[in-house]
Amino acid sequence: MSSPFKSVPVRSSEITPKEIYLSRRDFIKAAGVVAGSMALAACAPDLAETTPESLAVDTGPAKTDELGDSANTFEEITNYNNYYEFSTNKEAVAPLAKGFTTAPWTVEVGGLVNKPKTFGMEDLLSMFTQEERIYRLRCVEAWSMVIPWNGFTLASLLKMVEPTSAAKYVRFETVYRPEEMKGQGSPFYPWPYQEGLRLDEAMNDLTLLATGIYGETMLAQNGAPIRLVVPWKYGFKSIKSIVKIELVAEKPNTLWNTTAANEYGFYANVNPAVDHPRWSQASERRIGEISRRATLPFNGYGEQVASLYEGMDLSLQF
């Protein structure tokens, strides 16, 4: 019926700022200057006034994932986003999300657990070890990035609330705040955004609750203050701005599965052998690269997660 993940033409007024600072970044690279606010101020004082906040972030030495792929830049990660609550236009999300209220914030964890608890963001940041995880993110639309997240494992949170033996799935819910998120006025989607995982997927050590990127507090466009990251699944599983986590007995509904069940499955494991009904999933465009690269089964994380799906027909798990 509706057309999920439609590509919206980008107006030049939206492209311009990005073009400016991307080319500035190239200039900085070419000049062999370490990206940092001091260096920028010294090299390009005339442009300093228009410098987006993000450029002041010192991303430190180059980061790579375990396959040797370079992390995308902070600018790329924070200016090309899927977040339908704000916009269906990836370049428009960052400006629209500016000023979104992320504090105070609580995450209610309950359902089939012995010790339900509502956590304040401060608790989540202090009670759980925050680590860096450099993961590939593969969108179902066939673009990808490498993102250095900061966060903690979902498993550590779930262990604290003690799921009962009846709990088989985990359901996640994004904040519902249509005053601040104009996209939630769209009648085409069943708001609030919901997602779900099987309990063993949720307990896998790769599954992260992310609170930061490049060591900086998460920005609104990336799902501040806390979002899920499931790196072996298509990006839409990695739900943003979570306010509720519920342990349940039945497979939960998800926004995308409800919207177009034939296009977006519950499992949504990255699988180059199973095409989306409207496009190939065999290859992808890594943001910042010119030629396409092959998509890897389970997005390259098969060693850690393939055993979760033993006996399942993966050709059906689009």
Ligand X SMILES: Nc1nc2c(c(=O)[nH]1)N[C@H]1C(S)=C(S)[C@@H](COP(=O)(O)O)O[C@H]1N2
Among 151, 192, 235, 300, binds Mo ion (CB under 5 A): 235
Does residue 105 belong to the site contacting ligand X (CB under 6 A)? no
CA 310 from chain center: how many Å? 26
* Least distance from Mo ion to the Cβ atom of residue 311, Å: 28
Among 83, 135, 169, 301, binds ligand X (CB under 6 A): 83
Q: Closer to ligand X at the Cβ: 46 or 179?
A: 179
Q: Which of residues 156-175 bind ligand X (CB under 6 A)?
A: 174
Does residue 194 belong to the site contacting ligand X (CB under 6 A)? no
Q: Closer to Mo ion at the Cβ: 105 or 256?
A: 256
Residue nearest to ligand X (CB): 235
CB 182 within 8 A of CB 99: no
Does residue 236 belong to the site contacting Mo ion (CB under 5 A)? yes
Q: Closer to ligand X at the Cβ: 152 or 193?
A: 193
Does residue 82 belong to the site contacting ligand X (CB under 6 A)? yes
* Least distance from ligand X to the Cβ atom of residue 164, Å: 27
Does residue 284 belong to the site contacting ligand X (CB under 6 A)? no
Does residue 139 belong to the site contacting Mo ion (CB under 5 A)? yes
What tokens appear for 190 in the block? 């069943």
Q: What does the binding site for Mo ion look like in residue numbers (CB under 5 A)?
A: 82, 139, 235-236
Q: What does the binding site for ligand X look like in residue numbers (CB under 6 A)?
A: 81-85, 137, 139, 174, 193, 222-223, 235-236, 238-241
